[in-house]
Amino acid sequence: MPETNSLVTLIEKLSQNIIALFGLLIIAILIIVFSLVFIRRSGPVTKLGIGPKGLEIEFETGIYLNGIPQLPKSNPIRQSFEKGQKCINNEKYKDALVFLNEALGNNPSNEQKTAIYNFIGVCHLLLGNYLEAEDNLIKSSKLALKREGKSTAFGNLGIAYDKRGVLEKALEYYQKALDIDRELNNKEGIARAYKNIGIVFKKKGMRGKALEYYQKALDIDRELNNKKGIAKSYMNIGVVDRLEKNYDNALYHFHKSLNTYKEFGIKEGAAIAYGNIGNVYLQKKEYEKALSFYQEGLEIDKELDRTEGMAIKYGNIGNVYMAIGNLDLALEYYKKGMDLDKEMDRKEGLAFKLGNIGIVFEKKKNYDKALKYFNEALIIAYDGEFFEVTEAFLPQLIAIYQRQNNHEKIQELLLKFKKKFPQLKI
């Protein structure tokens, strides 16, 4: 009997231990499940500092140019205007401004001023002086009596707002231009407006809608056999291809666009194409190729004094150096680009560079500085409705707050940004 009692006691103890272990196992499973649910709600824990997140893109906006009302060849206003027009065609925008201001000083009529102010605004747009462009284009829109003049001024004003990141206002003016061009059955103007509206939708993260507008523009340009218009549509479609990781399609569209620009000797378009091809190679981790295309585009931008192009190329060259681990050189290029963005009041570009500087400091394990730069980038992104800046850097900011166990801040950020960008997947 004593042996039987001992055996019973042993079995009871083993049973108690098994029950205790089973209880611990249940608790462990509950902890794991809770953690997974929390992570799903508060976003993924991103691998800190894996590389640049924000590639800057150059789009092909459709600039609106109308000629000056007919004047005798000997008229000094016409002579100065035509010299300015020729400089614009040759991409010498600073020289053009000299002649256009000369025309303005020769006491033109209001109708003539409408065209002159528009051309001055276009020169400032192409030089990256967006506030000056806006000022001159508003003057043009107020003076314009004819519908064609209104459409031209409204379309270019839309570009000025677009470049500064005031997207709702850009959309409003593009739509105004489109309405007039439809009324006038101006197919070239309609195609131009479709391209520009597509760009705004793409910046807002509505890629399907952007593609719809690019395709509409492409169909009209093909109908008109407008090779330059087709090249612009290819460029913008290529941008969406790259974002969707359809790299072969993107390269096809960018090279088609580049070949057309080379054929017509359009250096600005070539510079944009080189930059966008560089973006594809950077995403494919072919860093030498990416750097080569960026540098080629940058040389043209410098030659043309294209401030926007230089700012974008500097930022993307910084991305290459960050990707290969040269963090100090990356910072140097980001800061070069930021200086130009501030000069132009170019908010989206500034936000991209602030975010990428944040990643540099993540890689340096300086999380306080990283937090500062991510927050600055995302404030601009929220105010300007820049979806891609948000998509790139919000996960990085959340990862730092997860590191700090600041779950309240994570929930606050997710509620705020998902309300602004319902398409955000995080």
Cα 249 to Cα 57, 134, 239: the distances in Å are 16, 36, 10
Matching residue, tokens 């560079």: 353
Q: Which sequence spans correspond to the domains of the chain?
A: 77-181, 245-341, 346-426
pLDDT exceeds cutoff 60 at 178:
yes
What average pLDDT does range 116-145 have in this prediction? 94
Residue 217 in contact with residue 233, Cβ under 8 Å? yes
Q: CA quadruple 81, 82, 86, 89: dihedral positive or negative?
A: positive
In CATH, the architecture of 346-426 is Alpha Horseshoe (1.25)
Q: What's the topology of domain 245-341?
A: 1.25.40
What average pLDDT does range 273-280 have in this prediction? 97
- How would residue 211 be classed by pLDDT, with cut points 50, 70 and 90? very high
What average pLDDT does range 27-38 have in this prediction? 38
Residue 314: what pLDDT? 98
The one-letter code for the residue type at 415 is L
Residue 205: what pLDDT? 87
What average pLDDT does range 108-116 have in this prediction? 91
What average pLDDT does range 290-311 have in this prediction? 96
CATH 3.30.70.2740 for domain 77-181 = no
What are the respective helix, strand and coil percentages of the chain, to the nearest 5? 80, 0, 20
Residue 123: what pLDDT? 94
Same fold, 77-181 and 245-341: yes
Residue 296: what pLDDT? 98
CA nearest 396: which of 45, 42, 40? 45
68: Cβ contacts below 8 Å, ≥ 6 apart: 77, 78, 81, 82, 103, 112, 115, 116
d(C-alpha 35, C-alpha 19), whole Å: 24
- How would residue 11 be classed by pLDDT, with cut points 50, 70 and 90? very low
d(C-alpha 363, C-alpha 310), whole Å: 26
Cα within 13 Å of Cα(276), Cβ side: 33
pLDDT exceeds cutoff 50 at 37:
no
Residue 91: what pLDDT? 87
Residue 331 in contact with residue 357, Cβ under 8 Å? yes
Residue 15: what pLDDT? 53
Mean pLDDT of the chain: 87
pLDDT exceeds cutoff 90 at 423:
no
pLDDT in tens, 334-393: 999 999 999 999 999 999 999 999 999 999 999 999 999 999 999 999 999 999 999 999
Residue 13: what pLDDT? 53
Rg (alpha carbons) of the chain, rounded to whole number:
28
